[in-house]
A and B are shown apart, each in its own frame.
Chain A
Amino acid sequence: MVLEIKARDVLARTGSWKGPSGPEVRLPILLRTLPSISRGELDEGDEAILTATGPGPDGVLVVRDLGSTLRPVKGDGGDWAHLVIPAEEPLPPSLADELDSIAPTTVSEDGLVEVVHAAASRVADDPPPPGSVQWVVMASAASLVGRPPWFIDAVMRAKERAGPGRLLYLPGVATPRNLALLSYLGVDVVDDVQCHLEAARGRRIRPELGHVHRPDAGTDGDLVARNLSTMRDELALVREVVEHEALRELVEVRVRSEPWQVAALRRVDRQHRSRLLPYCPVHRDAPLLALSRESLERIEVTSWVEALLERYEPPANTRVLLLLPCSARKPYGNSRTHRRIAEALSSVPNRATVHEVILTSPLGAVPRELERTYPAAHYDIPVSGDWFPDEVERMRSLVEHIRTVGTYDAVISHMGPGLPFLEEDGSVSRSRTGGEGALDNGALGQLASLVSQAASDALRTSRWERQREDLASLARFQFGRDVAKALLEGGQVAGRPPGLRLKGPDGDQRAMVVPARGRLSLTLSGAELVAAAGHHRVWMDDFELRGDLFAVGVTDADPLIRPEDEAVVVRGDLVVGVGVARMGTTEMLAANRGTAVAMRHHRGRGRGGGGGGGGGGGKA
Chain B
Amino acid sequence: MTDLEDWLVEQRSRRGVGKAKRMDPSVPAAVWHEEELLDGEVVDTMAAVVRTGGCSHDRDHGGCTMCGYASETPHRPPTVDEYLSQVRALAARRGDARWVKLYTSGSMLDPDEVPPVVLEAIVEAFDDVDMLTVESRAEHITAERVRTLGDPSRTEVAIGLESACDRVLDGSVHKGMDLAAFQRAAAEVTGEGASVRTYVLLKPPFLTEAEAIDDSIEAIEAAASAGSSVVSLNPVNVQTFTLVDRLHHMREWEPPWLWSVVEVLRRTAGSVPSTTRVISAPTAGGKVRGAHNCGRCDGDVVRAIEFHRLSNDPEELDAVPDCGCRPMWRSQLDLEGLMQGPFAPFGYRRSSVR
Where the two chains meet, the residues of A that have a C-beta atom closer than 8 Å to any C-beta of B are 33, 35-36, 50-52, 65, 67-71, 73, 85, 88-95, 98-102, 115, 137-143, 145-146, 171-172, 191, 193, 196-197, 199-203, 213-215
Interface of A: prevailing SS: loop
Known: A35-B334, A36-B334. 19 other contacts (CB 8 A): A36-B335, A51-B338, A65-B340, A68-B208, A70-B168, A70-B172, A70-B207, A100-B1, A100-B2, A137-B340, A140-B340, A141-B340, A142-B343, A142-B345, A146-B251, A171-B338, A172-B340, A199-B331, A201-B351
- Contact between B215 and A50 (Cβ–Cβ < 8 Å)? no
CA separation between A171 and B251, bound complex, in Å?
Answer: 17
- Contact between A202 and B338 (Cβ–Cβ < 8 Å)? no
CA separation between A323 and B251, bound complex, in Å?
Answer: 54
List of 7 A-B pairs having minimum Cβ-Cβ separation, nearest first: A172-B339, A140-B341, A202-B353, A90-B206, A200-B331, A101-B3, A94-B250
CA separation between A476 and B186, bound complex, in Å?
Answer: 82
CA separation between A115 and B339, bound complex, in Å?
Answer: 11
**19 A-B pairs in the complex with CB atoms less than 8 angstroms apart:** A33-B334, A33-B335, A68-B211, A71-B167, A89-B171, A92-B250, A92-B342, A95-B7, A101-B4, A139-B340, A140-B343, A142-B341, A143-B344, A146-B345, A193-B338, A197-B345, A200-B328, A202-B352, A214-B353
User: Would you list which residues of chain B between 299 and 354 have a CB under 8 Å from chain A?
Assistant: 324, 327-328, 330-332, 334-335, 337-346, 348, 351-354
Q: Given the complex, which residues of B lie within 8 Å of A88, measured CB to CB?
A: 340-341
- Contact between B343 and A71 (Cβ–Cβ < 8 Å)? no
Q: Given the complex, which residues of A lie within 8 Å of B123, measured CB to CB?
A: none
**Cβ-closest chain B residue relative to A202:** B353
**Cβ-closest chain A residue relative to B332:** A197
CA separation between A94 and B6, bound complex, in Å?
Answer: 16
CA separation between A388 and B281, bound complex, in Å?
Answer: 61
- Contact between A202 and B207 (Cβ–Cβ < 8 Å)? no
Q: Given the complex, which residues of A lie within 8 Å of B354, measured CB to CB?
A: 201-202
Where the two chains meet, the residues of B that have a C-beta atom closer than 8 Å to any C-beta of A are 1-4, 6-7, 165, 167-168, 171-172, 205-208, 211, 214-215, 246-247, 250-253, 324, 327-328, 330-332, 334-335, 337-346, 348, 351-354
- Contact between A139 and B2 (Cβ–Cβ < 8 Å)? no
- Contact between A101 and B353 (Cβ–Cβ < 8 Å)? no
Q: Given the complex, which residues of B lie within 8 Å of A71, measured CB to CB?
A: 165, 167-168, 207, 211, 214-215
- Contact between B335 and A197 (Cβ–Cβ < 8 Å)? yes
- Contact between B207 and A99 (Cβ–Cβ < 8 Å)? no
- Contact between A92 and B252 (Cβ–Cβ < 8 Å)? yes
What's the least CB distance linking A187 to chain B, in Å?
Answer: 14
- Contact between A172 and B343 (Cβ–Cβ < 8 Å)? yes
- Contact between A99 and B2 (Cβ–Cβ < 8 Å)? yes
CA separation between A213 and B330, bound complex, in Å?
Answer: 21
Contact status of A143 and B252, CB under 8 A, knowing A70-B165, A70-B171, A71-B214: yes
**Cβ-closest chain A residue relative to B328:** A200
Q: Given the complex, which residues of B lie within 8 Å of A196, measured CB to CB?
A: 331, 334-335
- Contact between A213 and B337 (Cβ–Cβ < 8 Å)? no
Q: Given the complex, which residues of B lie within 8 Å of A93, measured CB to CB?
A: 250, 252
Contact status of A98 and B7, CB under 8 A, knowing A70-B207, A172-B343, A201-B351: yes
- Contact between A191 and B343 (Cβ–Cβ < 8 Å)? no
**Cβ-closest chain A residue relative to B330:** A200
Q: Given the complex, which residues of B lie within 8 Å of A52, measured CB to CB?
A: 337-338
- Contact between B335 and A193 (Cβ–Cβ < 8 Å)? yes
What's the least CB distance linking B173 to chain A, in Å?
Answer: 10
**Cβ-closest chain B residue relative to A67:** B337
Contact status of A99 and B4, CB under 8 A, knowing A142-B343, A172-B340: yes
What's the least CB distance linking A122 to chain B, in Å?
Answer: 11
Q: Given the complex, which residues of A lie within 8 Å of B205, measured CB to CB?
A: 92
**Cβ-closest chain B residue relative to A141:** B340
Q: Given the complex, which residues of B lie within 8 Å of A68, measured CB to CB?
A: 206-208, 211, 341
What's the least CB distance linking B276 to chain A, in Å?
Answer: 23
CA separation between A426 and B2, bound complex, in Å?
Answer: 63
What's the least CB distance linking A202 to chain B, in Å?
Answer: 4
Q: Given the complex, which residues of B lie within 8 Å of A201, measured CB to CB?
A: 328, 348, 351-354
CA separation between A202 and B331, bound complex, in Å?
Answer: 12
- Contact between B353 and A203 (Cβ–Cβ < 8 Å)? yes
- Contact between A197 and B7 (Cβ–Cβ < 8 Å)? no
Q: Given the complex, which residues of A lie within 8 Å of B330, measured CB to CB?
A: 200
CA separation between A99 and B253, bound complex, in Å?
Answer: 17
Contact status of A70 and B335, CB under 8 A, knowing A101-B3, A143-B344: no
Interface centre among A143, A146, A203, A213 (most CB of B within 10 A): A143
CA separation between A101 and B7, bound complex, in Å?
Answer: 10
CA separation between A93 and B343, bound complex, in Å?
Answer: 11
Contact status of A138 and B340, CB under 8 A, knowing A70-B165, A99-B7, A172-B335: yes
CA separation between A101 and B352, bound complex, in Å?
Answer: 39
Q: Given the complex, which residues of B lie within 8 Å of A202, measured CB to CB?
A: 324, 352-354
Q: Given the complex, which residues of B lie within 8 Å of A140, measured CB to CB?
A: 252, 340-341, 343
- Contact between A143 and B343 (Cβ–Cβ < 8 Å)? yes
- Contact between B211 and A70 (Cβ–Cβ < 8 Å)? yes
Q: Given the complex, which residues of B lie within 8 Å of A142, measured CB to CB?
A: 339, 341, 343, 345
Q: Given the complex, which residues of A lie within 8 Å of B214, measured CB to CB?
A: 71
**Cβ-closest chain A residue relative to B343:** A142
- Contact between A143 and B331 (Cβ–Cβ < 8 Å)? no
- Contact between B171 and A200 (Cβ–Cβ < 8 Å)? no
**Cβ-closest chain B residue relative to A88:** B340
**Cβ-closest chain B residue relative to A170:** B340
- Contact between B352 and A85 (Cβ–Cβ < 8 Å)? no
Contact status of A115 and B168, CB under 8 A, knowing A94-B246, A214-B353: no
What's the least CB distance linking A210 to chain B, in Å?
Answer: 12
Q: Given the complex, which residues of A lie within 8 Å of B206, measured CB to CB?
A: 68, 70, 90, 92
- Contact between A85 and B340 (Cβ–Cβ < 8 Å)? yes
Partner of B342, one of A89, A90, A138, A191: A90
Q: Given the complex, which residues of A lie within 8 Å of B3, measured CB to CB?
A: 99, 101-102
Contact status of A101 and B211, CB under 8 A, knowing A94-B252, A191-B338, A196-B334: no
Interface centre among A70, A85, A115 (most CB of B within 10 A): A70
- Contact between B337 and A65 (Cβ–Cβ < 8 Å)? yes
Q: Given the complex, which residues of B lie within 8 Å of A215, measured CB to CB?
A: 353
Interface centre among A33, A85, A193, A197 (most CB of B within 10 A): A197
Q: Given the complex, which residues of B lie within 8 Å of A90, measured CB to CB?
A: 171-172, 206-207, 341-342
Q: Given the complex, which residues of A lie within 8 Å of B334, measured CB to CB?
A: 33, 35-36, 196
**Cβ-closest chain B residue relative to A72:** B167
Q: Given the complex, which residues of B lie within 8 Å of A191, measured CB to CB?
A: 338
What's the least CB distance linking B322 to chain A, in Å?
Answer: 14
CA separation between A178 and B353, bound complex, in Å?
Answer: 21
CA separation between A538 and B194, bound complex, in Å?
Answer: 81
What's the least CB distance linking B348 to chain A, in Å?
Answer: 7
What's the least CB distance linking A581 to chain B, in Å?
Answer: 35
Partner of B327, one of A98, A101, A200: A200
What's the least CB distance linking A313 to chain B, in Å?
Answer: 51
**Cβ-closest chain B residue relative to A37:** B334
What's the least CB distance linking A220 to chain B, in Å?
Answer: 9
What's the least CB distance linking B305 to chain A, in Å?
Answer: 23
- Contact between B340 and A115 (Cβ–Cβ < 8 Å)? yes
**Cβ-closest chain A residue relative to B252:** A92
CA separation between A98 and B251, bound complex, in Å?
Answer: 17
CA separation between A215 and B280, bound complex, in Å?
Answer: 37
Contact status of A92 and B341, CB under 8 A, knowing A71-B168, A143-B251, A200-B331: yes
- Contact between B171 and A69 (Cβ–Cβ < 8 Å)? yes
CA separation between A324 and B159, bound complex, in Å?
Answer: 83
What's the least CB distance linking A372 to chain B, in Å?
Answer: 48
What's the least CB distance linking A443 to chain B, in Å?
Answer: 57
Q: Given the complex, which residues of B lie within 8 Å of A197, measured CB to CB?
A: 328, 331-332, 335, 345, 348
Partner of A69, one of B4, B167, B338, B351: B167
CA separation between A145 and B252, bound complex, in Å?
Answer: 11
Q: Given the complex, which residues of B lie within 8 Å of A36, measured CB to CB?
A: 331, 334-335
Contact status of A146 and B346, CB under 8 A, knowing A68-B206, A70-B171, A200-B330: yes
- Contact between B165 and A101 (Cβ–Cβ < 8 Å)? no
